[in-house]
Amino acid sequence: MNRPDALWVLRRCGRHGHVLAWIADQQVAAHMERPAVDVDGDGGDDTALVRCLRCGTWVRQNDTAVTVVIGEPAARAALADLPQPVRGAHGRTCALLRLLAVERLLRGTFLVAAGVVAYHVATRRASLLSWVEQLLIAARPLGDQLGLHLRGLGWPTSELSSHAIV
């Protein structure tokens, strides 16, 4: 795993928590678990360390940063029952695909809304045109004050541009 992938995986574990598993397969478990060690010297049995399936960090099972623990030391999980945590380039690809899905959803929603608006405008064309006509008639005094000639259903044109056309 390269550095950007490792940082991405650590950030993901920071946000979602570590994923631990007590694995039944002895060969795999030897790489993923460390037996309990009396760290504080009180003679008690401290908790064993288990490696996170996603980031590979050694964590105690009762650590607050652990969110998922599969199996128990007494009832271990088979390799087939273990999840495949998202990590590395695959994880970044999944995140990018999720982002694209959200973008496509927003784009689709916008296109459907635009279609609905276009349909309503098309079905009510006559009433919309009369409304625009009334609006232009009502705005004519303001247009005269501003030097604009508001004519019928045509676009408002300024005095300068109408002279330039003629």
* Tokens standing for residue 4: 């950007």
Least distance in angstroms from the C-beta of 10 to Zn ion: 7
Complex with Zn ion: residue 91 or 156, whichever CB lies closer: 91
Q: Which of 8, 23, 49, 54 binds Zn ion (CB under 5 A)?
A: 54
* Count of chain residues binding Zn ion (CB under 5 A): 5
* Tokens standing for residue 59: 């964590």
Rounded CA separation 143/149 (Å): 6
H-only helix segments in 73-124: 88-123
Least distance in angstroms from the C-beta of 19 to Zn ion: 6
84 Cα distance to chain centroid: 21
Does position 52 interact with Zn ion (CB under 5 A)? The reply is yes
Does position 50 interact with Zn ion (CB under 5 A)? The reply is no
Does position 55 interact with Zn ion (CB under 5 A)? The reply is yes
**φ and ψ at residue 86, rounded to 5 degrees:** -70, 130
Residue ranges that bind Zn ion, judged by CB under 5 A: 13, 18, 52, 54-55
